[in-house]
Amino acid sequence: MAKKFGTLGQDYRDHVRAAVDADSWQGASAKTFGQWGRKTAEEYDQAKGEAHGVGALFRLAHATLDAHKKAVERARDDAQDAGMDVNSRGHCTMNFDKVAAKKGEEVADGYRENPKAKAVVEEKWTDRIKQVVKATQDADAGLCTTFMTDPKEPEKGLPNGFNGAVGDDVVKKNAARAAKTYESIKNGGTPSPEKLREAAILARAHGDDPEFSRTLIDSLGGPEGLIKTHDRLDDLAYYDDKDHKKSYVSLDKALATNLASATKNPDSAFYKRFQGDMEKAGVKEYDLKVAGEKIPEESGSTHHGQKVRGYQSLVSLMQRGDGYGKQFLFDTADAIRKAEDEAQGGDPDIWDLMGDFGTKQDAHFAHDPLDGILDVMSHDPEASTEYLDPGPEEKRDNLSYLLNKRDWNHVDLGSPDPAGMNDPDKENSDARQGLARAIEAGATGEQPIVGDGAARPHATHTIPEARIMNQVIDQTDPGMGGSSLPENLQRPIANALADYSSDTHRSLYRGDDASDHPGVHGSADNATLNVNPQKLVRVMRGVSDSPEAFAMMHQAEREQIRQDISNLPPDVGPTSPKVTDSMTRAGATMGAFEAIRQDRVLDLRDDEMSEADWNAKLKYHIVGGVFTPLPYVGDAVQRSIDTWTWDEGNQVKSSADTEAKQELTRQWLSSDSQIRHMVNDWAASSESIDEDAPGLSTLKSRVVMGQRDDTREQAAGWLARGKD
């Protein structure tokens, strides 16, 4: 509502007041209307302020009463868990059967024989419920007083009109109350559970109010105070007071929400002051137990008690929230890069710490703040695209820096040799996870895929999204005989490639000569990507150490083939140029995928994962793939995906012999099997084609398999394998 009043007020100034203030209208009437026009404009401002204030009061009321309601429900649930029956008035009566079930018949019999002891327990639980109900009533009365308070009449606007001061005093007082609790925590105190709940309620209720959030952060001492407050909350939650972990994490989440709203407007004086102070605080060192306790004191190492940098704490806090403004994300990422990038005068080792912090146990700590801010950014695909887009002439180097120039070794294992040629540091186990998710979000314009989710069929992309995908392929190409991509990049990049299956399908068919016109083409919101097929095959192989990644791309490619087949006219035969073109493209992509799979299988001879394990996982993910029904196909083609997967997949399951299972799996994964099913199912979907129709056998063996063989051999050469 406040936003609407603001829009109406601005419209009034732009279109009504502007006309009145023009020189074309003069005299007494113009003067009188000008006075009333000013009052009207002021009234819109007051209406905006009042709507904002009333909204803040309602959010406060909702957050307060919701928290108290949950407290009452928890007290009731605790009483029931203790063996009480609770009536609608909160009175507790012992249920002997429940007590016996929870504590044993002996305890229940003791209460049966001792009515006084039974009454004491019942009264204890009844009183506890009364206390939380009384707290709820007091909170309700306090809210009533707050709502009924009559603010001071404004000097601007109309008499008895809207009042922009509504809620202002409440917001200021609540910011002060919340800040008092946060300040106590920052300074080493441990506020009571009631104070913690109150601060969390206030911070959540006013989380979207920039004035509240700025007042709170300023009260804590700006960026440095914010960092220290977060660090102390983290220490309490994970080390010093684990019994109240939920309360501390809730307070930290609320603080992250306040940070998001306080920094939404990059043109505000607060924002500019915050960023200036943060650049200094971000590289300073602070105590944080997740790092300090990583190396045990009894080890005797001087690294016990190691400190963290401010940006590590800031990003840790940010990962607890969402809804950050794009400019805040960009400026924070740029400042972190400036602190570490040698080309900008930074120190590549600034984030180094002893120990691997990439474990699930340490996930609450953003040990690599640049990767961490990219992870936060990945929740906003539009921001990810804008930050990683290299631009039409590739002048922006964020993506290039992250893929090729950045030092990712942040596990400190000592100093380099005197010549500086050998740095013993290594990567954390979660290195590049944030980058990977940001690439997937930025290149697809969608949230990263979670778990076993499927790629979008026939997705469209913007020019900037396609530029990101193009540069990722270009700069992660390991070259002939090159190594695999870093493990944490594999699945997200495969997800992104699967989103571009219509483009990769075209690029893998050399007949289209995509390599003659590489790069991004098309319109702003419907871009096409022509990729050098050599680079594409090597990148696809580079992500295929992961069977899940290979399966994702394979599923998307089969979906593209199905789409092509579904678009064939129903009355064409196996010798039709349209049919041979569609089938030839299918053969080419199957050949490329088979070369990639065979290359991976050869590498598995020296790998910890056996060929059987990799194939089994691949088959599992392909069989479990999700596919979208196509609008114009015969039943046989619509069922083709089931035929491709389940027929021979079930043969594998039913085989009791291990070697037989492995051989059946190899056959099932081979393109020979897939080609036969693909052509047969297409033919079955057409009433005019018999199984023995002239040209059908040639279509399979010469057209599709011939193109498959050519592309497979060519792709194997690009992978430095040559003929098998």
Q: Residue 27 CB: number of other CB atoms within 10 A?
A: 7
As a dihedral over the C-alpha atoms of residue 318, residue 321, residue 326, residue 328, rounded to 10 degrees, the angle is: -40
Ranking 73-77, 331-335, 417-421, 445-449 by mean pLDDT, the lowest is 417-421
Q: How far apart are CA 119 and CA 111, in angstroms?
A: 9
The alpha carbon torsion through 675, 681, 686, 688 (nearest 10 deg) reads 70
Distance CA 271, CA 266 (A): 6
What pLDDT shows up at residue 558?
87
**Closest C-alpha among 253, 123, 251 to residue 181:** 251
HEC string for 275-339: HHHHHHHCCCEECCHHHHCCCCHHHCCCCCCCCEEHHHHHHHHHCCCCCCCHHHHHHHHHHHHHH
Q: Which two tokens stand for residue 643?
A: 């035929």
Examine the pLDDT at 440 and tell me if it is beyond 90: yes
Asked if the model's pLDDT at residue 635 lies above 50, the reply is no
Q: Which helix (H) or strand (E) holds 467?
A: helix 463-476
Give the predicted TM-score (pTM) of the model.
0.78
Euclidean distance between CA atoms 244 and 238, whole angstroms: 10
Nearest CA to 5 out of 161, 175, 170 is that of 161
Q: Parse the chain into domains and list their residue ranges.
A: 2-148, 175-265+277-281, 535-718
Q: What is the rounded average pLDDT for all residues in the chain?
A: 84
| One-letter amino acid for residue 224 of the chain | E
> Strands 92-94 and 84-86, how do they pair?
antiparallel
What confidence score (pLDDT) does residue 30 get? 66
| Residues whose CB falls within 8 Å of the CB of residue 121, separated by 6 or more in sequence, listed in order | 82, 94, 111
Whole-angstrom Cα distance, residue 294 to residue 296?
6
Place 490 in a pLDDT band, splitting at 50, 70 and 90. Answer: very high
Q: Is 366 exposed, middle or buried (CB count within 10 Å of its CB: 0-12, 13-18, 19+)?
A: buried
620 pLDDT higher than 90: no
643 vs 390, more confident: 390
More confident call, 608 vs 111: 111
Report residue 678 as tokens.
């693909």
pLDDT at 652: 43
**CA angle at residue 424 from 418 to 430, to 5 degrees?**
150
Asked if residue 291 has pLDDT above 50, the reply is yes
Helices (H), 82-114: 96-103, 105-113
Q: Of 218, 144, 145, 132, whose CA–CA distance to 175 is shortest?
A: 218
Strand-pairing partners, residue 92, are 86
Name the pLDDT band for 416 (thresholds 50, 70, 90): low
In terms of DSSP H, where are the helices of 25-114?
28-81, 96-103, 105-113
CB 700 within 8 A of CB 679: yes
Look at 165-169, 231-235, 342-346 and tell me which has the smallest mean pLDDT. 165-169
- CA Rg value for the chain: 33
Compute the average pLDDT of residues 487-511.
91
Is 658's pLDDT higher than 80? no
- Of the pLDDT bands very low, low, confident and very high (cuts 50, 70, 90), residue 177 is confident
Percent of the chain with pLDDT over 90: 53
> Which DSSP helix (H) or strand (E) runs through 25?
none
Using the CB atoms, write b or e for 526-549: b if 16+ within 10 Å: ebbbbbbbbbbbbbbbbbbbbbbb
pLDDT digits (tens, 9 = 90+) for 680-724: 888 887 766 776 777 888 888 889 999 999 999 999 999 986 554
pLDDT at site 657: 46
How far is CA 406 from each of CA 315, 328, 330, 485, rounded to the nearest angstrom? Answer: 19, 22, 17, 15
